[in-house]
Homo-oligomer: A and B are copies of this chain.
Amino acid sequence: MLEASCPTVGVDVGGTKILIGLVSGKGEVLFSRKYPMRRENQAQAEEAIFSAAGDFAAALKEHPELPAPAALGMGAVGHMDPEAGVWLHSYNIPVQTPIPAAERMSRLFGLPAWLDNDVHCAALGEGLYGHGRKAQCMLYLNVGTGLSAGILQGGMLLRGADNYAGEIGYMDMNCDEGGQKLEPAASGGGLIQGALELLPEYPGSLLETAWKEGNLHSTAVFEAAGQGDPLARRLAERAVRYLGAAVCNLMAVVNPDAVVFGGGAIRSPGMLEQVSAYTAAHCVGETYKSLRYIGLSALNPAETGMIGAAALAGFGLSGSMRARP
């Protein structure tokens, strides 16, 4: 169990926007601002991030009524070295040369600062402020465009040797069939890709209409499946089976008492209910008995990245990560 900590600053660097906020020790957003992101090249990306941070640091000083933050956390997509506070690499945002992001944030705000990837941050946010707060051990699954996970036991996130832990999208769910990975079957991006590949086999599918209208996403797949569309059913059933089996496997490995889902795709109509039902039917009894919660994240989806980054700072202060600067 984790105790709520002091207010911290969370910086969420996304592909199109940067969200920065002051977050209370209970996870409430006390003050926040949104900035445009730029990603034509690394220099512009850095300029966008650190000028936004500079603006927010100045804004905090203009609001002396707000409580002073004790630390800062930053989350973004890519490969991070959380111990060094360095953003090593990213495809989505053009980072080819490592950025000492924690150190630069630390100087801008005069605060200790930490850095991790977006899904690790989201898991920490859920752990500190959400359904993980009362859990001994939480499995957090982000089911969005891609698929990844965070495993939290007590105050510690499983990061692995190089901070790659949680890359569950690569799990092989059918090793007898020459290998079939989880992410292409059960992520939002995988559902779209699967629909596009199979559309020629299903003329007249509701997903063809959705595609023509620019609405082909996981919600459309689960809606059409609910209406009995054969292609959509095939895709939705496979997504549920793969994700359900993966959750059962991870529960056997991790023995969590909380399984929390974040991300956009899992909010497709019926998906979470069906995955939960698969898990209840297939998970090994002793492991399933430990489960106290399985369901959606408690955090506002629009603010999960920022709140998670603030939680990263809270965990940093708690000593579960090496302090900086």
A interface with B by C-beta (< 8 Å): 79, 135-137, 149, 151, 153-154, 156, 158-177, 179-180, 238, 241-242, 244-245, 248-250, 252-257, 282, 284, 286-287, 289-290, 292
Residues in B neighbouring A249, C-beta threshold 8 A: 170-172, 249
CB distance from A297 to the nearest CB of B (A): 19
CB distance from A123 to the nearest CB of B (A): 13
Q: Are B242 and A175 in contact (CB under 8 A)?
A: yes
Q: Are B253 and A161 in contact (CB under 8 A)?
A: no
Residues in B neighbouring A173, C-beta threshold 8 A: 172-176
Q: Are A137 and B153 CB-contacts (below 8 A) given A252-B167, A252-B168?
A: no
Q: Are B174 and A177 in contact (CB under 8 A)?
A: yes
> How many Å lie between the Cα of A21 and that of B284 in the bound state?
36
Q: Are A166 and B282 CB-contacts (below 8 A) given A160-B290, A241-B175, A290-B160?
A: no
CB distance from A19 to the nearest CB of B (A): 27
CB distance from A254 to the nearest CB of B (A): 6
Residues in B neighbouring A136, C-beta threshold 8 A: 160-162
Q: Are B167 and A284 in contact (CB under 8 A)?
A: yes
Residues in B neighbouring A289, C-beta threshold 8 A: 162
Residues in B neighbouring A254, C-beta threshold 8 A: 158, 160, 165
Residues in B neighbouring A160, C-beta threshold 8 A: 136-137, 153, 254-256, 290
Q: Are A255 and B167 in contact (CB under 8 A)?
A: yes
Which residue of B137, B175, B176, B253 is within 8 Å of A168 (Cβ)?
A: B253
Q: Are B252 and A161 in contact (CB under 8 A)?
A: no
Q: Are B161 and A151 in contact (CB under 8 A)?
A: no
Q: Are A256 and B175 CB-contacts (below 8 A) given A156-B156, A170-B287, A284-B167?
A: no
Q: Are A156 and B153 CB-contacts (below 8 A) given A168-B252, A286-B164?
A: yes
A selection of 10 A-B contacts at a CB cut-off of 8 Å is A135-B161, A163-B255, A165-B255, A168-B252, A169-B252, A170-B284, A171-B252, A175-B245, A176-B177, A176-B180
11 new A-B contacts at CB < 8 Å, known A171-B252, A175-B241: A79-B286, A149-B253, A160-B255, A163-B255, A167-B284, A170-B248, A170-B287, A173-B173, A174-B174, A175-B244, A175-B245
CB distance from A243 to the nearest CB of B (A): 10
Q: 9 tightest A-B contacts by CB? A: A160-B255, A161-B257, A175-B245, A164-B255, A170-B252, A165-B255, A136-B161, A161-B290, A171-B249
CB distance from A227 to the nearest CB of B (A): 24
Of all chain B residues, the one with the shortest Cβ separation from A289 is: B162
Of all chain B residues, the one with the shortest Cβ separation from A243 is: B175
CB distance from A316 to the nearest CB of B (A): 15
CB distance from A256 to the nearest CB of B (A): 6
Residues in B neighbouring A154, C-beta threshold 8 A: 156
